[in-house]
Every structure is written in structure tokens, then in C-alpha cells.
Amino acid sequence: MSQPHTLRVLSGTDIRQALPMPAAIEAMKEAFAELSAGRVTMPTRTHIDVPDHAGTALFMPSSAARFGRIGVKIVNVFGANRAQGLPAIQGLVCLFDSATGTPLAVLNGTHLTALRTGAASGLATDLLACADALTAAILGAGVQGRTQLEAVCAVRPIRKVWVYDVRAEVAEAFADEMGVALAVEVTAASSAQEAVRGADVVCAATVSSRPVFADADLAPGAHINAVGSYKPHVQEIPAETMQRALVVVDHRASALAETGDLIIPIEQGLMQEADIHAELGEIVAGQVVGRTSESQTTLFKSVGVAIQDLAAATRAFEQAETAGLGQIVEI
């Protein structure tokens, strides 16, 4: 009879202890470098729509020799959950040893998704934003907006933040909470225009299917992190901005297949696939130069890819083992 097997279960709190934001940003640097170098196995993620409940289930597998792991994330996006007091994004990440296939860990996918998405924007901000960026705008005051701001503040000395959400009370709560958490001045804006027009860094993390700001509202030299649109009909960023900005993506194939931020302006003839300047990993590796002037508008378009989850989960798991974090369960 075989011996019982155990695995480590990591909660959101465990992940936060094991992988603080600066470490998460470093994990993203590894992930994107491996991805752009072609050393990642990562099938295009599978979508299952749940129209009766306005939801989508996403299945995201990946593996990479550098991490020695196989990862699978199942993440569910149900926007109507907010009315029930539930997170809009919920999921699990399963981690396996790539040498034996042995299950190693199950991680809170809700927290890991927010953390790694914020960390990717932090990395992009570090590589693309003006070095003296001091102001930021957050569009969308949900969980993801929080990690976006945390990541931006980890790589730039942000002093002033505006946050806008269609729910004014949610923006006010965000301002109070994040102002204290990050020791920075955060103000709830009355409109997206008010938030964006003075910002050196703009983070769009909404569920809007239409552009959430006007191109003319952007300050000269602004850097934009666009993380909300991951479906072909959903366009969070104005086509005019996509057309004129230096556009960097997390993964070309995934971005061109999934996000309306690119698909719609390409279909309208306003830009071409060749207008994508680079993948983030190409800039990490020094193969492509990013920003070339202080007045240039730069934009990081992220749809979120499975190697991010694998990298973050691997680093969190390794540190959790060292620190004795999480619960050990027998299966």
C-alpha cells in the first residue's frame, strides 16, 4: 500500500507573507524573460462562459524548466458577485513537481492573481515610466486597483494619487485605506478625467467594456498600465491612445487573441499588429529599448498569462516551505 501524500495549502495571508510585492516583481521579471526567450510551455488559456450568471471560468496551465514546476490556475470572473459581497475574481492555483508530477501545493488564486498582476504592472512601470514619476491615477477601486498602486509605489517615489471608481463610496474607502497603508496622499476623484489629467502613471483596472478615459486627458509622458480588458469586445483604453503610444504587451499571441484594446483598433484600421513595440520580457532581457524620451506616452497591455502564476506560486511555495507557512493536508 502506498504512503499517504501531503501538500501545502497557502491562504492569501500566507502568500502575502511569503511573497511581498518587491519579491513578486522580481518573480515577474523572471517569468517574462523566460516567456519571451521561448523557454515556457504555455497553451492559450481556455474560456468557459457561464451566461446565466454573467461569469467566465478560465483554465491556465504552464511549465518552465527554470521553475521546476507545472502550474494550473482555475480562475472564475463573476462581475455580479459584488452585489452579494463576494469577490468578482476567485480561483485556485495547483502546483506540481515537473520531474515527478507530484502535487506540491494549492494556493489561493484570488490573492495570487491580484498580486502577480499588480507586480507585472510594477515591473512595466519600472522599465517604462519616467524616472521622476511622482503622481499616479488608479481607475477601478477594487482588489486589483490596490495591488496596482502598491506595485507602482514599490518602484517609483509616488507622492500623490487620484483614484476614480463609478461607485464613489468605494473610491473614498480605497483612498482612506491605501493612503494609510502606503503612507501616500490618495484622493478620490470625481471623474476619470480629474484622476488622469495630472498623473505620471495611470493604472486602468476596471470591468468596463468602453474606454474609461479620453486620450486628450493624458499628461505628456504618461505611462499607462492597462489590465482590465481580456476579451475581444472589451475596450478599456481609447483607440487613439493605443495608436500613438509605445505599446508593450505581456505576450503577443495572447494579447492579439484576447484583448479588445488591440483587436478593435486593428479591425478599425487604426493600428497593425506590427505596431506592438515589444513584449515586456524582451525589454527585461535588453533585446529591445523601452522609453526613448520624457514626453513619450508608454503603455503596458496585460491580459495576464499562466507563467506569471507559475512564477509567483513557485516563489511563494519555496519561501513558505522555508518559513513553515500554510497548512499541510493529506491527500
- Which candidate, 174, 240, 161, places its Cα nearest to that of 203? 161
Model pLDDT, residue 2? 63
Render each residue's pLDDT in the chain as its tens digit; 331 residues: 566 789 999 999 999 999 999 999 999 999 999 999 999 999 988 989 999 898 999 999 999 999 999 999 999 989 888 788 888 889 999 999 999 999 999 999 999 999 999 999 999 999 999 999 999 999 999 999 999 999 999 999 999 999 999 999 999 999 999 999 999 999 999 999 999 999 999 999 998 889 999 999 999 999 999 999 878 899 999 999 999 999 999 999 999 999 999 999 999 999 999 999 999 999 999 999 999 999 999 999 999 999 999 999 999 999 999 999 999 999 8
- Which candidate, 45, 204, 50, places its Cα nearest to that of 118? 204
Model pLDDT, residue 20? 98
| Cell numbers placing 248 | 508593450
Global pTM value: 0.94
Q: Which residues of the chain are in CATH 3.40.50.720 domains?
A: 130-304
Domain 6-112+307-330 in CATH 3.30.70.1450? The answer is: no
- Which candidate, 156, 100, 110, 155, places its Cα nearest to that of 133? 156
What order do you get walking across the sheet with 298-301 strand by strand?
Answer: 185-188, 160-164, 135-139, 201-204, 223-226, 298-301, 246-249, 276-279
Task: Give the domain 130-304 fold.
Answer: Rossmann fold (3.40.50)
Model pLDDT, residue 88? 83
Secondary structure element (H or E) that encloses residue 204, with its range: strand 201-204
Secondary structure element (H or E) that encloses residue 106, with its range: strand 103-108
Q: Rounded CA gap, 175 and 141, in Å?
A: 9
- Which candidate, 24, 23, 80, 27, places its Cα nearest to that of 50? 80
Q: Which residues of the chain are in CATH 3.30.1780.10 domains?
A: 6-112+307-330
Secondary structure element (H or E) that encloses residue 6, with its range: strand 6-10
